[in-house]
């Protein structure tokens, strides 16, 4: 699509053609969905996940029942290409899939556990994600988490960041009140005590977070 080279704002002819076809057929543009939440791969994330390069996008979450779920795509997979087109950012993925029709076939090249493989999928429609919340409050003795309060999330879904003092070390990490920590350094976390044990003595933390309806990874060092 040329969307990753940062030159101009012209709409590529193939996308313009698809938009026109959908407007004629449906009277609106129906954007296809793969059903994943992805992140651009930063050097910190590449190191945390043992990746050799920053190529591709990291799958943070797969929506249950989505096209990606049905195709067997998993959280922590790295998507390198779609239908032979390189994916270097979430915008590349969005632009490649977003204007395809529901039911169109996709071939995705991914990396899982250090090994490349090919996954076949079909473009689906958007699926709503449910949100969750939590309660009560405890501090964690870790220099990077100073200023944050933590509480058990509902139904054992992890540990919620219940409060963060402005300008505190925790605030500078990128954590937000309402975030739910579900794993530390890829180890599942269900309770505040498990969180305390997981961060104890660790200089670098790879947090798996639930933020609103989405999921993401955060490196703290």
Confidence at residue 205, expressed as pLDDT on a 0 to 100 scale: 94
Q: Report how far residue 98's alpha carbon sits from residue 127's, in angstroms, rounded to the nearest whole number.
A: 14
Tokens 């990753």 belong to residue:
4
**Residue among 42, 52, 49 at smallest CA distance from 77:** 49
**Residue 188, burial from CB neighbour count under 10 angstroms (0-12, 13-18, 19+):** exposed
Q: Report how far residue 76's alpha carbon sits from residue 45's, in angstroms, rounded to the nearest whole number.
A: 11
By the 8 A CB rule, do 36 and 63 touch? Answer: yes
Q: Report how far residue 147's alpha carbon sits from residue 154's, in angstroms, rounded to the nearest whole number.
A: 22
Question: Residue 78 corresponds to which tokens in the numbers above?
Answer: 């790295």
What is the rounded end-to-end Cα distance, in angstroms, of the chain?
35
| 3-state DSSP assignment of residue 36 | strand
Q: Is the pTM of this model over 0.85?
A: no
Q: Report how far residue 44's alpha carbon sits from residue 5's, in angstroms, rounded to the nearest whole number.
A: 23
Task: Tell me how far CA of residue 117 lies from CA of 41, 108, 142, in angstroms.
Answer: 19, 8, 39
Q: Phi first, then psi: what are they for 93, rounded to 5°?
A: -65, -45
Q: Report how far residue 97's alpha carbon sits from residue 31's, in angstroms, rounded to the nearest whole number.
A: 8
Which parts of the chain have pLDDT scores under 70? Answer: 1-32, 99, 125-137, 155-156
Tokens 């053609």 belong to residue:
17
Each domain of the chain, given as residue ranges in start order, spans 13-122, 143-220
Confidence at residue 102, expressed as pLDDT on a 0 to 100 scale: 77
Q: Which CATH architecture has domain 13-122?
A: Roll (2.30)
Q: Report how far residue 166's alpha carbon sits from residue 193's, in angstroms, rounded to the nearest whole number.
A: 25
Shared fold status for 13-122 and 143-220: yes
Confidence at residue 120, expressed as pLDDT on a 0 to 100 scale: 93
205-211 and 180-184 strand pairing:
antiparallel
**Is domain 143-220 classified as CATH 2.30.42.10?**
yes
């Amino acid at each position: 699509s040329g969307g990753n080279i940062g030159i101009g704002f012209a709409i590529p002819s193939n996308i313009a053609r698809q938009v026109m076809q959908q407007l004629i057929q449906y009277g609106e543009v129906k954007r296809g969905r793969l059903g994943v939440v992805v992140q651009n791969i930063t050097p910190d994330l590449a190191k945390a996940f043992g990746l050799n390069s920053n190529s591709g996008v990291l799958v943070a979450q797969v929506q249950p029942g989505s096209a990606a779920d049905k195709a067997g795509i998993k959280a922590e997979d790295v998507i390198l290409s779609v239908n032979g087109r390189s994916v270097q950012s979430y915008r590349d993925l969005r632009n490649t899939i977003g204007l395809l029709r529901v039911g169109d076939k996709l071939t995705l090249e991914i990396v899982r556990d250090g090994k490349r493989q090919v996954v076949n999928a079909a473009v689906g429609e958007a699926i709503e994600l449910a949100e969750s919340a939590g309660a009560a409050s405890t501090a964690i003795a870790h220099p990077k988490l100073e200023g944050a309060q933590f509480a058990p999330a509902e139904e054992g879904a992890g540990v919620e960041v219940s409060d963060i003092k402005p300008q505190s070390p925790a605030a500078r990490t990128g954590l937000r009140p309402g975030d739910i920590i579900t794993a530390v350094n890829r180890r599942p976390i269900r309770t505040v005590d498990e969180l305390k044990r997981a961060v104890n003595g660790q200089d670098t933390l790879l947090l798996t977070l639930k933020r609103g309806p989405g999921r993401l990874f955060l490196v703290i060092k």
